[in-house]
Amino acid sequence: MTGAAAPVQGQVQQMLTLLAVAGTVGAALVVSFAGRLDRDVTALRIGSGLLVYGGVVLPVTAAGFATSIGPAGQLLDLIGLGAVAVLFALGLVRRGEPTLSWPAAAVAVAASLTAVAGTALVPALAPGTMVLTAAHAVIVLGMAAVAAAMVAQGMRAHSVLQRRVGLGYGLLAVAHGGRGLEPVEVMMAWPAFTGLRPVAVAIIIAGVLPHLRSALRRQQDRDVAAALRLQAVREAGEARDRDADDRDHELRNVVLGLSGAAALLAGPADGGRAELGAAVAAELDRLTRMLDRARPETGAGEIDVRSALAVAVEVRRAGGAVIELDVPAGLRARGSAEVLTQVVTNLLVNCARHAPGSPVHISAAEADGHVVVQVRDHGPGIAPGREADLLDRGRRSATTGGRGLGLGISRDLLRAHGGDLRLVRPAGGGLLAVLDIPSAELAAPVTRFAS
């Protein structure tokens, strides 16, 4: 080697070593980050091994520290290489799973112990003696064994990270093995083997980057799943709150109606007490069901429309409401009598709140396979364009108060039984609520929510 070529070759070697340091440390940080995302012990140990190699072993080699202080420096170099081999080997260990990492780990540990014991027993060794050379050879063999185990396990587990890191680590073992020939004066091999290290690091990076992309995708999937779970919990909480509001709303209506019935029953006897008693009994049964936290029955049976409406009407009449009931006898619909009574009770409560003192007219007739029930008052009515939005929960009048639940609850109950509710601004003022209920002649509808 000429004197002019030596400095140039030294500069090239330093540049290649610095590239290897930067690439290895970068790869260590990336794979450690991915390991933390996935809580992957294998990736974390590989990252630790790369960090020790790129942050300790390579800088010591590049600075010439290992050779400048003699056997102690070479011992430090060997310990660093052994530590990397142990960390990589431990990264292959998977509990309860057969693996090649145990023999590889044993070789790596034996290599480290050999290096330590050899130098400790012969503290005055000069560089290049047989003990250090043997320790170096054992370390390199350990690195090669771990690299082979990583490649084998990566192929079996279809892990790009383990395959490529194992392959790159194998090239690093070859590079360090070539450096071990230096004391035997095979000097031309050393620059070539130094050039292997950037190639090895490039292969490792090629395995780390896809692993990071996969880890980020998995983290995104976990974030989406967590958001969906949170949304489900939030919706469940909202449903519980909505059920509690519905129950509270209906309890208020039932208690209000029963209060009026109780006042009437305390007065002089008349011929209407039998019908009122039946209505009170029906309302008490509905109250019991609500206290038991039971929803209205969703089974589709036949309803005697007049009887179901009479329960709501008699209780409200007992409270002083003026209600005309115009329903032909024998008119039958399909659905739940309890739901029909509850919906009409809600509408009558709204009439009393928003049109106090106004007479209410309730009629029912069959048309086109449906029973149409109409509830009309003669109060101030509603503003144009509000027929639809007042059926949403929480929509309420700014002047008469209320919680804005009754109409929304009523529509939901009817739709759950195949019916519907709509509001109409009739000619002559007031408000008309139209209930569409399947006729008893139709097949049973599919209910929209379970009991």
CA distances from 428 to 78, 377, 378, 381, 431 (A): 101, 11, 8, 10, 9
Band of residue 209 on the pLDDT scale cut at 50, 70, 90: very high
- Write down the CATH number for the domain with range 5-227: 1.20.1070
Range scoring the smallest mean pLDDT among 32-36, 136-140, 330-334, 372-376: 136-140
Q: State the average pLDDT over residues 18-35.
A: 88
β-partners of residue 413 are: none
Distance CA 208, CA 93 (A): 19
Token code pair at residue 24: 């290895």
The dihedral region occupied by 374, where left means phi > 0, alpha psi between -120 and 50, and beta the remainder, is: beta
CB 154 within 8 A of CB 186: no
**451 or 122, which is more confident:** 122
Average pLDDT over the chain reads 74
The whole-number pLDDT of residue 203 equals 92
**Residue (of 366, 381, 318, 13) closest to 195 by Cα position:** 13
Band of residue 70 on the pLDDT scale cut at 50, 70, 90: low
Q: State the average pLDDT over residues 348-360.
A: 88
β-partners of residue 367 are: 370
Phi, psi dihedrals of residue 360, rounded to the nearest 5°: -120, 135
pTM over 0.85: no
- Name the residue ranges covered by the structural domains of the chain: 5-227, 294-438
- Write down the CATH number for the domain with range 294-438: 3.30.565.10
Token code pair at residue 105: 């780990």
Longest dimension (CA), the chain: 130
% pLDDT > 90, the chain: 13
152-177 confidence digits (pLDDT tens): 888 988 888 889 998 998 888 888 77
The whole-number pLDDT of residue 100 equals 44
Distance CA 35, CA 45 (A): 9
Token code pair at residue 65: 């520290």
Range scoring the smallest mean pLDDT among 97-101, 252-256, 416-420: 97-101
105-138 confidence digits (pLDDT tens): 454 555 555 545 554 544 444 444 566 677 778 8
